[in-house]
Structure 1
Amino acid sequence: MPGIVVVGAGHAGVAAAAALRREGYDAAITLLGDEPDAPYQRPPLSKAFLLGTADEDALALRSPGFYADNAITVRSGHRVTAIDPQRRTVVLDGGEQVPYTDLVLATGAAARSLQIPGADLAGVVSLRSLSDARALRSVIGSATAVVVIGGGFVGLEVAAALAGRSVQVTVLDVAARLLGRAVTVPVSDHVASVHRDRGVRVVLGTGVATILGRDGRTTGVVDTAGRRHEADLVLVGVGATPRTGLAEATGLAVADGVVVDGSLRTSDRHIYAVGDCACAGGVRLESVQNATDQGTHVARVLTGRRPGDYADLPWFWSDQQGLRLQMAGLVRRDDELQVVGDPGSGRFSVLAFHAGRLAAVESVNRPADHMAARRILSTGVVVTRAAAQLPGFALRDVAKPSVAAAVG
């Protein structure tokens, strides 16, 4: 019996393989990763690993003996070049064919590149993989001026890490505010204020026209307003695109990711997709939580547990400039917002209400609010905006079982 093959050895792929064994699957499990390294955690790459406070051993997703102990075959450095859905095999870059009974695509996402002059100069880097992080860590010690292109989570985390090293750091973002697609205006404004207070130049509403260079190496960036920003290191952090090439070549439905149903099954009944590459219900999320939870869910589907449609609460986090940003749920553009706490103190939360009911919470340095929000939102407790406006309202109180039934 061929068993299950998982393509992609990141958070989603490892979670799927581990959960298959945990749920009692007893046939072969093969985990194929195109990177040469053993499966590793990605969040520390822009934080502890970049700063040198965590070594590569600390990045391991599982202990060295985990895979052997659970009879999971890990094959690193093997790129899948094709899928034959009729014969149910995957083809590796060396021509080897690996059969499967069911296939899980956990191919993740790739850093989006800039199509501008100078983008190929030495000193222009991105940060998506361990290889990227090694390269970046090897040069930041000698950098004197850094331009970060893109005001998303990764770019800001790197900016925060470098700002404490007597390095001139400039963040350029074409959007009108930092984290514009990820957080609400109050959180975005606070993040920008903190970065500026700690020496980071934040330039918004401008794109990048050209990356300048001399002798093959970057010397600066010219923005679309014609301003020059000195840089001997340029980090490109303009988002990521789902790695859907295999799925498209196989004829699977693709739309901003590999399209899956509630069971995370693709348009082929024996192929599933999870994590950053998967688009479920028209939504594609890039987060460790989503990757891990989808990997676990698909394992339950494949072992016949019939867990229903995937509907786990999405949550996210980011650490930068002493800020602990935590988000639970997804904010919609038409949500009504309410701030609890004092932004001036650096500790507050933003409550988002959709149709009058709590739908998402963003917290800044208020971890108790975040944990309470996750309990409230994942259990379906109704919290109305009217209730949240009452004197003495606190999320942690609402999250208590004795109180939750009475809220709303």
Structure 2
Amino acid sequence: MMSHYDIVVVGAGHAGTQMVFALTAGGFTGSIAIIGDEVTAPYERPPLTKGYLAADILSDELAFRGEAWWAGSDVERHLGTSVVAVDAKAHTVTTEDGGTIGYGTLVWSAGGEARLLRAPGAELDGVHVLRKLSDAEHVKRHVATARRAVVIGGGYIGLETAASLRKLGIEVTVVEALDRLLLRVTGDDVAAYLKARHEREGVEFLLGAGVSEILGEEGRATGVRLASGRELPADLVIVGIGLVPNVRQLAEAGAEVGNGVLVDKFCHTTLPDVYAIGDCVSFESDWVPDDRLRLESVQNANDQAKAVANTLLGKPQPYDALPWFWSHQYDDRLQTAGVLTGYDSAVLRGDPATGKFSVVYLRGDTVAAVDAINNVKDYAQSKALIGRTVPAGDSRLADPSVPLKDFLTEAQAA
């Protein structure tokens, strides 16, 4: 017999789980099911490249809620299976085990899969991605005996993983195909600071370097051959080269997709009674020039979940939350407010050599984003400043003794 629920949430990551919590906290009285492809109870993923990999956090500490909460709720969990097809007309989803589940409203929060390395040897034992708990567990088993690691990808996943491996005493080389670290997500000052910080910890960087092959013996990775011909010995290879949004099933059902599944201001897809939230969503945003954005962040997952829950609870409001992001590497904390896309200029506040500074990114005279390194005050004050205008060429913006909140007061007065 086909089961049917008022709301079916596909994906038990951050977005999907927070969706369930928001609905239950808001007093939703209908039936809810959540479908997840992992057998593990829903858990937090950001610590996987940080505390969990470095052995500072145990797997039991990752869970969003204990088993008692789930057992005491009316939420039905379908774990260890994924949705392979959506029938928008019939309002059903088909799971990989052959089951059919009907829905009144579908919330797609299936996230994405780690982008795989397309190179010979990528399937060898010792080559890993870091997206799920099972990935991190596989890495931890190899970490105990690993001496040298190559991290492919100089984004946040790669850098956080590099920091965790160095804490464990493993030699690390980071290989990045682009000419600069974090090219798509931050500016030159922050990228240079983090590169220097890692180098002080012993990390080697090879920028503008492509990977041609993973070398191996008897089915196990032993090194990485670069496009230049150079060979890097390694008994552990971590691939962190991005995420592929899980939207195929919605596309096949007729949903409009691009860089993710397209949704409107209320996170509604082009399919009837189907919403989408989290990493797999391309949403309308006032925070970027081209009006569309896809974010891979805890903030976005949480806030979109709350927005859709409010809509389903009869309190619809368009999603317009300010994007923010954070990263821990060693004892440094990076916090970002806003989105850097399309910025024209960057104003450095403070001296990076001190380990405490911030950068204000501008589109014309409008504040687009702020990066803060170990600078909680600038970060906190910057949130209200994003989207505001500042006087053109105002030299005070580069003066760290001038609080950012002073510019907010002037913008309001203007």
Distance 2:355 2:405 in 1: 19
1:174-253 correspondence to structure 2 within 5 Å: 174-253=177-256
Structure 2 equivalent of residue 343 of structure 1? 352
Distance 1:15 1:165 in 2: 33
Distance 1:366 1:293 in 2: 24
1:247-262 correspondence to structure 2 within 5 Å: 247-262=250-265
SS at match of 1:21: helix
Distance 1:36 1:384 in 2: 54
Structure 1 equivalent of residue 287 of structure 2? none
Q: CA, structure 1 residues 388+95, in 2 after alignment: closer, same or farther (shift >3 Å)?
A: farther
Structure 1 runs (4+) deviating above 6 angstroms are: none
Q: CA, structure 1 residues 293+226, in 2 after alignment: closer, same or farther (shift >3 Å)?
A: same
Distance 2:305 2:40 in 1: 20
Distance 1:294 1:69 in 2: 25
Does 2:382 match 1:373?
A: yes
Does 2:59 match 1:52?
A: no
User: How big is the shift at 1:406?
Assistant: 5.1
User: How big is the shift at 1:404?
Assistant: 6.4
Does 2:277 match 1:274?
A: yes
Structure 2 equivalent of residue 304 of structure 1? 314
Distance 1:52 1:258 in 2: 36
Question: Are the equivalent residues in 2 in contact too, given 1:212–1:221 (CA < 8 A)?
Answer: yes
User: How big is the shift at 1:327?
Assistant: 0.6
User: Which residue type is aligned with residue 349 of structure 2?
Assistant: V
Structure 2 equivalent of residue 389 of structure 1? 396
Structure 2 equivalent of residue 12 of structure 1? 15
SS at match of 1:50: coil
Under a length normalisation based on structure 1, what TM-score does the superposition of the two structures give?
0.94
User: How big is the shift at 1:306?
Assistant: 1.8
Unaligned runs of 5+ in 1: none
User: How big is the shift at 1:376?
Assistant: 3.2
Query: Which among 316, 321, 328 is matched to residue 319 of structure 1?
Result: 328
Structure 2 equivalent of residue 163 of structure 1? 166
Q: CA, structure 1 residues 241+189, in 2 after alignment: closer, same or farther (shift >3 Å)?
A: same
User: How big is the shift at 1:68?
Assistant: 3.7
Query: Which among 147, 150, 153 is matched to residue 150 of structure 2?
Result: 147
Question: Are the equivalent residues in 1 in contact too, given 2:153–2:176 (CA < 8 A)?
Answer: yes
User: How big is the shift at 1:398?
Assistant: 5.2
Does 2:120 match 1:113?
A: no
Unaligned runs of 5+ in 2: 285-291
Distance 1:407 1:211 in 2: 59
User: Which residue type is aligned with residue 309 of structure 2?
Assistant: A
Under a length normalisation based on structure 2, what TM-score does the superposition of the two structures give?
0.93
Q: CA, structure 1 residues 276+406, in 2 after alignment: closer, same or farther (shift >3 Å)?
A: closer
Greater CA deviation, 68-77 or 9-18?
68-77
Aligned CA-pair RMSD: 1.7
